[in-house]
Amino acid sequence: MQIHAQKATLIKRYKRFLADVTLEDGTETTIHVANTGAMTGCATSGDTIYYSVSGNKKRKYPFSWELSQTKEQHWICVNTIRANQLVEEALINQKISELKNFTDLKREVKYGNEGSKVDFHLIDEQGKATFIEVKSVTLLEKQQGYFPDAKTERGQKHLRELIEVVEQGNRAVLFFAVLHSGINSVKAAAHIDEKYAHLLQLARQKGVEVIAYQAHFDNKLEGINITLENPLSVK
């Protein structure tokens, strides 16, 4: 994936979906933030951020925050919409070793008893279904990557749904898309959402597969290339 983005300096993030930045010409403006999480460590005042520009004239905020570059020179994709796009690209290009040789891919398929839509539904050559839930990981604390960065009832629901998938004889995968270049392994954030951590442990015991891949960032003149290509351990 290539993102065409322009540079700015972060002033502050607020109201969850908004942030104030200083553009390269010194102008201060407000941009949209497509991230419902706490964004801990991803939104430090003074950090360099990169934003894309929408051509939609009806948008109140045409600029969208895409990436952060921290003072430690870590790259972080803060636009959580990109996680599914990156996973789909990696699946189609057969970059995920655990999820190759499928014959059909669908997005946003309804499943479960709690009204969920699974991010990806695959059918393999033997006709078996695989249900994939994607989660974006950006929280780094004391050299350890964590998910979630805030309590998530939605995430808890998805784990229950994935357990049900396995009980019905299908394959279920929780896919952590690690969008932070400084994260080298992923762990359930029990100190943030203890219930989610317990459910994740239960899901693994029940047969839900949990995998993680880290994004690689390559800043070129024509844009910033991002690919999921480095498998990581999930503790």
pLDDT at 36: 86
**Phi, psi (deg, nearest 5) at residue 199:** -65, -35
Check: CB of residue 121 under 8 Å from CB of residue 91. no
- Residue 16's pLDDT is 83
- Helices 194-206 and 153-167: angle between axes, nearest 10 degrees: 10
CA distance 2 to 4: 7
Cβ pair 189, 230 in contact under 8 A: no
Question: Nearest to residue 35, comparing CAs of 173, 158, 139, 185?
Answer: 139
Name all domains of the chain by residue range, CATH numbers in brackets. 2-77 (2.40.50.580), 81-234 (3.40.1350.60)
Q: What is the pLDDT of residue 131?
A: 98
Give me the pLDDT at residue 135, please: 97
Render each residue's pLDDT in the chain as its tens digit; 235 residues: 999 999 999 999 998 899 999 999 999 999 999 998 899 999 999 999 999 999 898 899 999 999 999 999 999 999 999 999 999 999 999 999 999 989 999 999 999 889 899 999 999 988 999 999 999 999 999 999 999 999 999 999 999 999 999 999 999 999 999 999 999 999 999 999 999 999 999 999 999 999 999 999 999 888 999 999 899 999 8
pLDDT of residue 57: 87
pLDDT (0 to 100) of residue 112? 87
Place of tokens 């979906």: 17
Ramachandran quadrant class, 127 (left: phi over 0; alpha: psi -120 to 50; beta: rest)? left
pLDDT at 15: 84
Decide: 213 and 232 in contact? Cβ < 8 Å. yes
